[in-house]
Structure 1
Amino acid sequence: MPEIPLVPAHWRFPAHPTSVRRARQAVAESLPYGLHSRLGDDLGLLTSELVTNAIRHGACREDEDFIELVLWPADGHYWLAVSDPGTGKPELVRPETDSESGRGLILVDSLATAWTVRPRPTRGTSVIAGLPFRQFG
């Protein structure tokens, strides 16, 4: 008999800056008890960066649009997908030294084992990033 996978955690938040903290807290609270704190910190940072980018670059109307998060364990990783209604494709770029923004995907790239951008079947874009949990503990 095959092993039955866990049901992914799923949230929807308004495309508003206050949702970044709420999303980070929701992800942290969904992790199993006893999981090494570094995984929670790294997932929190990934969540903050991806949700911030989705709000800034993927949402059109903060009073109408939503950001969706899905978190699930698979293949020795915790995978986080952050989706927004936008059609743009986030790209990894190196900002100018004195730039005050533009480093979010650099952090994602350095933390995640793998990450990608995928169009959603109906509307929008998802950024998916994975953190290994086998390296902790």
Structure 2
Amino acid sequence: MPEIPVVPALWRFPAHPASVGRARHAVMEALPYGLPPQLHAELGFITSELVTNAIRHGACADADEVVELVLWPTDGHYWLAVSDPGPGKPAVDHRPSPDTESGRGLLLVDALADAWAVVPRPYRGKSVVAGLALPSPG
């Protein structure tokens, strides 16, 4: 009999700045006890950055749009996908101006995640997917 895979955790939040903290809290609560504190912190940070970007650049709060999160462990990683209905494709600015107050989030996600990508959704929008490696048992 095949092993039943872990069912991903799924949340939908209004495209509103107050959803960033709620999303981060939901992800932190979904993580199992015993994960290293650094993995908790990095997943929390990546959640905050990707949800913030989705709300600012990919969704319209006036249109009652939502941001969707999916969290799942597989292949030795914790994967987080943050989806929004917007058409744009986020990209890393490798040389943000020292005077700007924003624009560094994806640069930090790029530094923390073992892998990340922007994946188009079949009908509308995109998902930004980031993976963090689980520590090796030992």
Aligned residues: CA RMSD: 1.4
Q: Distance in 2 between matches of 1:48 and 1:74?
A: 22
SS at 1:90 equivalent: coil
CA contact (8 A) 2:119 2:128 kept: yes
- State the 1:136 CA deviation: 8.2
Show structure 1 runs of 5+ residues with no match.
none
Show structure 2 runs of 5+ residues with no match.
none
1:62 and 1:55, CA in 2 relative to 1: closer, same or farther beyond 3 A? farther
Runs of 4+ in 1 over 3 A off after TM superposition: none
* Matched positions, count: 137
1:32 and 1:63, CA in 2 relative to 1: closer, same or farther beyond 3 A? same
CA contact (8 A) 2:54 2:67 kept: yes
CA contact (8 A) 1:27 1:71 kept: yes
SS at 1:110 equivalent: helix
CA contact (8 A) 1:118 1:125 kept: yes
Q: Percent identity?
A: 69
TM-score (norm 1): 0.95
In structure 1, the residue matched to 2:57 is 57
In structure 1, the residue matched to 2:40 is 40
Cα deviation digits, residues 9-54 of structure 1 (max 9, x gap): 0000000000000000000000011111111110000000000000
CA contact (8 A) 1:15 1:65 kept: yes
Say which is worse superposed, 50-59 or 90-99, in terms of deviation: 90-99
In structure 1, the residue matched to 2:117 is 116
